[in-house]
Amino acid sequence: MSSPVKYTLTGNIGVVTVDNPPVNALSHAVRQGLLDAFETAAGDASEALLLVCEGRTFIAGADISEFGQPPQEPFLPDLCDRMEASDKLFVAAIHGTALGGGFEVALSADYRCAVPSAKVGLPEVMLGLLPGAGGTQRTPRLAGVDAALQLMTSGKPIPAAMAKEAGLVDEIIEGDLVDGALTYVQKLLDDNAPRRSTSALDVPEHDAAIFDQFRAVLGKKARGQVAPQAIVDCVEKAAATPYEEGVAYERQRFMELMGGDQSKALRHFFFAERAAAKVDDLPRDVELRNVESVAVIGGGTMGGGIAMTFANAGIPVTLVEISDEALERGLAIIDRNYAGSVKRGKLSEDKAAACRALISGATDYSQLADVDLVIEAVFENLNLKKEIFAKLDDVCKDGAILATNTSYQDVNEIAAATKRPQDVLGLHFFSPAHIMKLLEVVRGEKTADDVLATCMKLAKRIRKVPVVAGVCYGFIGNRMLQPYAQQTQLLLLEGATPEQVDTAMENFGMAMGPLRVFDLAGLDVGYKAREALSEEEKGDPAGYRVPDLLVEAGRLGQKSGSGFYSYDENRKPTPDPEVHKMIEDTASELGIKRRDISDDEIVERLVGALVDEGHKIIDEGIAQRASDIDVVYVYGYGFPAFRGGPMFHASLTAG
C-alpha cells in the first residue's frame, strides 16, 4: 500500500506532500509518512524542507476513525518535536484549514506561509481536550499569551491575515501556493534566514494577572467545563517554565482530559451529530427534489425567522400573511432582526441587504403556484392548519413539498387534508429560527422517501442540524419536555423554590433553568396547549396546577413582566414571595408535605424524567437512535454538550 506522503527534491528544496483525502487527516500512515520523509531528507542534498498538502485543505486535524483506538507510533507530539529538530530550514505552506494536530504540525516548522483564504485553529476544546502535541506551549511563544488563550479556549479558527498579525503565519502567498511557497523558501535561504525552533522562543512579556482574568471569564462563559481551565493552566506553565517542563505538563493534562467524562461526552456528541443526518432505511440512490424557492405561511416571530433562514442561505422566500397589515408587521420583524444582526456584527450591511432582498411578501395563495417548498408556521390550531394545507393542495404545483412547522400537532392528520400526503412532512424549527441550529424533520406515515431525503439534505444547506422524528404528540423534544416540566412542578410543590430548581440545573450545565425557560417561552403557550388535551392526557394535576394559576393571575412570563419570577424593564428575573406563597398554598391544598430538597435530587429527577421518556421514544420508533435524542436536547433545549446529552449522560452515570 503506497504512503499518503511523498517526498521529492525540487532543486535544493525537499518537498513533503501529504495526500490523504478528503481532509488530509493525521492518520497513522500520514504520521509515519512524515517521519519517513524527514528521515530521507536528513541524508540528501536538500537545504530546506517545504510541507504542502494536496486537495482542498492542509492537514485538518486528527483521523476521527482512530478515536478510541490504541495509539500507534509515531505519536504526534514526538513527530512534531522530530520535525522541529530537523537541521534544515522547515517551512509549512497552508491552504484550506490547518486545525488541531494539523496546525501543531505547522507550529513545529521554522516559518509558515498561507494563502489569503486559509484558516488556522486549535479546536480541541470542542472535544473536551487541549492541544496535546505542543500546541499550548508553542502558540504563546509565537502569538503571545492573550492571543494564544483566545485561540485555544474559544476553539474557533482565525483567517490567515489575523494569524499573520498574531505572529502565527509569517507570509501571505498570493496566487499558486506551491509556486509561491517555493519562491518564499528560496528567498529565506538566499537571505540566510535563521532556523527558528518555536519551542526555543521566549514567551513575550505579559501581565501575569491575565491568567486569573481568563479563568474568571471562562468560569461564567464555559461554566462547569474543565478543558478551557486546563488550557489556561498549560499556557501559564509555558510562560513560567522551560519548554520541556511545559510540554510534559501539557501531556499530563491532555491524558487526564482524554480519560475524563467530559471529553468522552463531547466525543460521543461529535459522532452523534453526524449520525443524526443519516436515515437508516432510506435508499442510497433516492433522487432528490429541487428546492430553489420557498414560501412561509405566517409572518410572526417564527415565520419571519424561518424566512430569514432560507434567505441567509441564498434561497428566495415568499412570506404569506392574511392581510397587508399583517404582512407589513411580519416584514418589519424581519427588518428589525437584520438590523440587530448588523449592529451585533453578525452580518455586514451589504450581506444583510442582499438577504433581505430575497424575501418578498404575498397575501394571495395563488402566488405560491410555482414554489418548490411551502412551510406553514401559523399558531397551533389543528383545524386552521388543515384548512391551510387544503388550500395549498389546490394551488401548489405537483411535486412541491408541503411542510408544517407544528411543535406537537399530528402531521398525519394535516397530511390527510391534502390529496398528496406523500408530499407532506413536518419541519419543526426552534425559536429564534434564524439562530437555533436544530431542525426536527417529522416523517409522516405516507411521507415519500425523496421528500424526506430532500429535506435532510436541505437542512445542511440552510445550516441546520436535522434529526428525524416519527409522529407523536411533541415528536422528540417537546414530548420529553412534558415529563420534565411535570417533574419541575412536583419539585416545587414538594419543597424546592423556582430559583433553587433553576440554579441547580444551570450549575449542572443547562443553558437556562426550566422555570426561566417557561417564563421566556410564555406560560400561556402551555396553558393553551393543555386546553386541547383530555384529563387523561394532562396527567397528574400537580404537574400543571401552579403554572395554570399563574396564567389565570395574568402572570404569563417575561412578556407580561411576571411569571415564576418578576421581571424589570431589562427582563432581569427576581424571586417573588407571591409565587412562593402560591406554591405553598397549592401544596397544602393537594395534601403534599413540603421538605428540604437537595440540588442533587433536583438534577437526578429532572434528567431522569427526560431519560425515561427518551427510552419510550426509542422503543416506539419515534427516534432512530438514542444519540439522536442527545442531539435534539443539546441543540434545541440547552442541555450541556459536555455531558453528551441526556441519554449518554444516563449511560455514563449508570456505569
For residue 498, is the peptide bond before it cis, meaning its omega torsion is within 30 degrees of 0? no
| Domain 477-621, CATH number (from 1.10.1040.50, 3.40.50.800, 1.10.530.10, 3.20.20.70) | 1.10.1040.50
Three-state SS string over 466-487 comes to EEEECCCCCCCHHHHHHHHHHH
Cα distance between residue 628 and residue 631, in whole Å:
5
485: its cell numbers: 416540566
Name the E strands within 401-490.
401-404, 424-429, 438-442, 465-469
Domain ranges of the chain: 5-255, 294-469, 477-621
pLDDT at 526: 84
Helices 28-42 and 76-84, interaxial angle, to 10°? 20
Mean pLDDT by groups of 10 residues along the chain of 655 residues: 92 97 96 97 96 97 81 94 96 98 98 98 97 97 98 98 98 97 97 95 95 96 95 98 97 96 96 95 94 96 96 97 95 94 93 97 95 95 95 97 96 97 98 94 98 98 98 95 94 97 96 94 86 77 91 94 94 95 96 96 98 97 97 96 97 82
CATH code of the domain occupying 5-255: 3.90.226.10
483, 497 in Cβ contact below 8 A?
no
Phi-psi region of 310 (alpha: psi -120 to 50; beta: other; left: phi over 0): alpha
How, if at all, do strands 573-575 and 565-567 pair?
antiparallel
Pick the catalytic residue: 47, 84, 124, 349? 124
Residue 119 has a pLDDT of 98
* pLDDT tens, residue by residue, 163-180: 999 999 999 999 999 999
CB 211 within 8 A of CB 236: yes
pLDDT at 470: 97
The domains spanning 294-469 and 477-621 adopt the same CATH topology: no
Nearest 10 degrees: Cα torsion 188, 189, 191, 193: 60
pLDDT tens-digit map of 585-602: 999 999 999 999 999 999
Burial class (CB in 10 A: 0-12, 13-18, 19+), 143: buried
Q: What is the pLDDT of residue 655?
A: 64
Examine the residue annotation and report whether 124 is marked as an active-site residue of this protein: yes
pLDDT score, position 653: 83
Q: How far apart are CA 652 and CA 65, in angstroms?
A: 22
Q: What is the pLDDT of residue 1?
A: 66
Catalytic residue among 54, 73, 84, 104: 104
| Strand arrangement, sheet containing 97-99 | 97-99, 119-121, 158-159
Q: Which element (helix H / strand E) includes 119?
A: strand 119-121
Q: Take residue 309 and report the three cell numbers written for it.
A: 433562514
H/E segment holding residue 406: none
Mark whether 250 is an active-site residue: no
Is 368 within 8 Å of 387 (Cβ atoms)? no
Which of the four CATH numbers 2.40.30.10, 3.40.50.410, 3.40.50.300, 3.40.50.720 does domain 294-469 have?
3.40.50.720
